[in-house]
Structures are given as structure tokens and as C-alpha cells.
Structure 1
Amino acid sequence: MLGGAQLNCSHVETKAPPQFCTFSWDLHTMAGDQKVVEGSFMLPPGASNVQVYQGSGFDSALSNPIVICRGNK
């Protein structure tokens, strides 16, 4: 994706409980600024390659995305 950022996640364990996840990602904008994008999402068991974030106007990542998930029992 030219000028964009996309984060995909999977929860491949089919018998595990759903996962509640949060993410934070430090990105560099085309305007030369720094922007931290954050969010949360639920992943059902067996989910594969789910798009959890998509944005445009970025030219590089300043960090790897940090994704923290925990079982939702």
C-alpha cells in the first residue's frame, strides 16, 4: 500500500477463547510529523489475517506495532 499503513492479526487457535487486543504504532507522516495510532479489537478463535488498522499519509514506521492480546473468558 503506497503511503499507507496496514496491520493484520490472526488468532489461529480454534479452541481458545476470543482475544481482546490493543495496539499502538508510531508512524511518520508524509508531512514530516510523528503520529501514534492506537486501537482495540476482538479476534474470534480461528480468525486469520484480519485487518485491524488501515491508514494513509505515512511514509515509514518509527517503531514496530505493539499488539497485546488476552483471552476474553
Structure 2
Amino acid sequence: MTEEAKIKGPASYFPSIEKKYGHPITHWLNLLETVSGKKHMEMVALLKTEHGMGHGHANALVAYYLAPAKSD
């Protein structure tokens, strides 16, 4: 089993996000940082409308970005 196959949850989308949209995940996480006060679906909508991202990819990035905040 490859290392990629072991990745679960939102991070499992990262390789395809990087390939499809041409930016590293840090680019998208930094972008989300600029709108950190918005709600989950508002952040998803921003990625979809302003960056042409599909819903699944946008949702995965936002879920990953917001996950550390849930443990506080």
C-alpha cells in the first residue's frame, strides 16, 4: 500500500487539488486564512465562485482548514 493510499479524510483530496488547480495546498490554506471569520459554507462558496473550484475540493480544503479550531 502506498503512502497516498493511507491518507484519509479531507487530506485525501490534496494531490488532485494540487494537480487540477496548479497551486500547493499551502496556497489555498493561506487564502482561507484571509477570510477566517467567515462560516464554513461561505468559505466554500468563495473557493467555488472566485477560483472555479469544485464543491468537493472546496469543501475538503475548508474542512481541513477548520479542523484544528474544533479541537480548541
- Which TM-score tier does this pair reach, normalised by the shorter chain? under 0.3
Higher helix share: 2
Structure with the larger RCO, 1 or 2 (CA within 8 Å, 6+ apart)? 1
Q: Give me the TM-score of the superposition, normalised by structure 1.
A: 0.27
Name which one, 1 or 2, has greater alpha-carbon Rg.
Answer: 1
